[in-house]
Structure 1
């Protein structure tokens, strides 16, 4: 039987890797690395660095392939995601079939944690449903950008007796302002927080968390919103990509 590992590698710091993840790395025969096509791909470099830093065996191999480009459907967000996932499923099916022999272990190194806003786990399940490949898989948890964000800002994720919500920029745009008390926002490409600057909310924002390029800004949203927009746009222009997360919190 083939075995596939989904290994959470943390939010950007190579030292985010857990002992369980290191052990999983050293069980692996072949690593699949998806190239997203960035000219300056720090995410790809970090995956290779983690292998070189923590692997104690030298008989592993790395297969690097082009990640299918996601194209948004102008009429339906869900249709666009479905098409992208199907493209990835076809690719994963081919990789597992061609590169993993019976009894071998293949692994995907997943940014953050495989269970939080990452599609790899769903796509592996889709590959199994297609029926052409048979394998077992295991999920190795990792430190998320949410954990890294609050650690770097030195604040607790939740307050006593209060819930915490994790959502996306798309969903935040649909939320009534009065429902926002403690909200972590991920995947916000449009700075949706700018629509809330007339509130008393605080924001704790971070980009490239855990990396040498980490940026942190915190304060009253109405005071720092413009600064976050400016810094974010400059960083994205310089690096060609940005990965940021923020917490919105209403004062007691």
Structure 2
């Protein structure tokens, strides 16, 4: 039996970030697979449900919740991620085998955009490669936290004639990428900020687009302490935090 799956980008947290294409996709699905990441992140589960309730016409759909295993952080990062994805793949295979009827279409709702630091497509592709299922999946892009951050700060991501680099906080601890131009940082623990040049301009945002949104910008040396305080306090209060930031190195002399 063919399994039809929609991977729908639902934006960075604001229900109004849903695109017209995503709304149409929501209305094509009949089974929504919702990851349960524990009590601390229950708000993420509820927001997915709220988005469905807001945009789906009628009530001919259902939710299937599933627990997400915690990724080990004890070994080599890439190996830990691979092992974690293997666990999630087995969960997906069970969902595909047991939770989709012959005439149903399943959907995974992905924060931001499915193509940016998300493993859903890769996991589904690995399942499709095994021929265990006749799997047909479609990807609907979403508004990423990167785009939302730039919009909320009213800044362009790039500078004229210069590249834009997107990286992670884990890699930032090794220093700024030697590529020139601005740098967007995601999945951070803030461990790398203090090692950077304090003259760098930073545009930081947490929970971008939501009621809990926090925006801070300025020279890194002037706002680093505030960012760290806000990050710790917000994580303590909400149980989780999603933050993204843009770093703009000082312009070289003579450039405009």
TM class by smaller structure: over 0.9
What residue is the counterpart of 2:24 in the other structure?
Answer: 23
What CA distance in whole angstroms lies between the structure 2 residues aligned with 1:43 and 1:249?
A: 31
Q: Deviations over 1:187-236 (max 9, x none)?
A: 0123311211x442110000001110000000000110011001110101
1:207 matched residue in structure 2: 206
Q: What corresponds to 1:233 in structure 2?
A: 232
Provide the rounded CA distance (Å) in 1 between the counterparts of 2:174 and 2:148: 26
Partner secondary structure for residue 39 of structure 2: coil
Report what 1:143 is aligned to: 143
TM-aligned CA distance change 1:234 to 1:190, over 3 Å: same
- Whether the aligned pair in 2 keeps the contact of 1:182 and 1:249 (CA below 8 Å) is yes
SS of the residue 1:184 aligns to: strand
- Provide structure 1 residue ranges, at least 5 long, that are not aligned to the other structure: none
Alpha-carbon distance, 1:145 to partner = 0.2
Counting only pairs closer than 5 Å after superposition, residues 84-99 of structure 1 correspond to structure 2 as 84-99=84-99
Match of 2:254 in 1: none
1:251 CA drift (Å): 3.0
Change (3 A) 1:190 1:164: same
Residue matched to 2:37: 36
SS in 2 for 1:51: helix
Shift of 1:52: 0.4
Contact 1:35 1:66 survives alignment (8 Å): yes
Partner of 1:162: 162
CA distance in 1, matches of 2:78, 2:40: 29
Q: Deviations over 1:139-169 (max 9, x none)?
A: 0000000001010000011111111100001
Instruction: Give the alignment's TM-score, normalised by structure 1.
Output: 0.95
Q: 1:175, CA displacement in angstroms?
A: 3.5
* Alignment deviations for residues 48-89 of structure 1 (CA, whole Å, 9 cap, x no partner): 000000000211010011112111232x11110011000000
Bigger Cα displacement from structure 2, 120-129 vs 24-33: 120-129
- Conservation of the 8 A alpha-carbon contact between 1:3 and 1:103: no
| 1:169-200 deviations in Å (ceiling 9; x for gaps) | 1112223576553000000123311211x442
| CA RMSD between the two structures | 1.4
